Structure 1
């Protein structure tokens, strides 16, 4: 987990992500990531940090491919993925744009299925 937190720190210190993104990602790691799962969560946490930064900086958002999302929506892990994204939205006190929710569903389904 140390490597995951160090990665976040590097992104924050290089101004690649915002303070808000950094704080939300740290809380997400504390809530959902165990020490032995940290490597599996690297892509998810990096995407979350960048997504929150794109939203805060009002940058363009693009959705994942539809065919991939059709698979994700059929996953038995989808309900838990929705719950985790909902938890992040509560932390933010706002709804995420659908494009970013879909990417987070994709990443959560992947780590929950591993």
Structure 2
């Protein structure tokens, strides 16, 4: 988790993400635990922190291409991903826009696939 903390610190110091986004992203990384592979975890946490920052700043994001998303919709890990997204929403106190949810689903599913399932 040291790499996650370092990544978030760099993004925060560069004003790419907000303090609250950094905090929630770090907590989300902790929820996945040490068994999460570093590269997909880094992508997930970076996207999550920037997504939360976009919400705070009122910025929007383009949705992922549907062709990319079809595989995620078929994944056995989609429900696990949705549970984590709901946790983020509960922690944040608001519902994430659908476009942000889709990107997070991609990242979470990728992490769960590489971890071999959910072990939270």
TM-score (norm 1): 0.94
Look up the match of 1:19: 19
5+ residue gaps, structure 1: none
Matches of 2:23 and 2:52, distance apart in 1: 11
Q: What is the alpha-carbon root mean square deviation over aligned residues?
A: 1.3
Q: Deviations over 1:2-56 (max 9, x none)?
A: 1111010111111110111011011111222316633430000000011111111
> What does residue range 25-104 of structure 1 map to in structure 2 within 5 Å?
25-34=25-34, 37-104=37-104
Q: How many residues matched? A: 114
Mapped to 1, the partners of 2:40 and 2:69 lie a distance apart of: 20
**Residue in structure 2 matched with residue 5 of structure 1 by the alignment:** 5
Question: Is contact 2:44-2:107 (8 Å) kept?
Answer: yes
Seen in structure 2, the aligned counterparts of structure 1 residues 13 and 73 have a Cα distance that, compared at 3 Å, is same
Q: Match of 1:29, SS? A: helix
Contact 2:24–2:88 (8 Å) recurs in 1? yes
More deviation, 67-76/95-104: 67-76
| Structure 2 unaligned residues grouped into runs of 5+ | 115-120
Q: Tell me: higher relative CO, structure 1 or 2? Use CA pairs within 8 A at least 6 residues apart.
A: 2
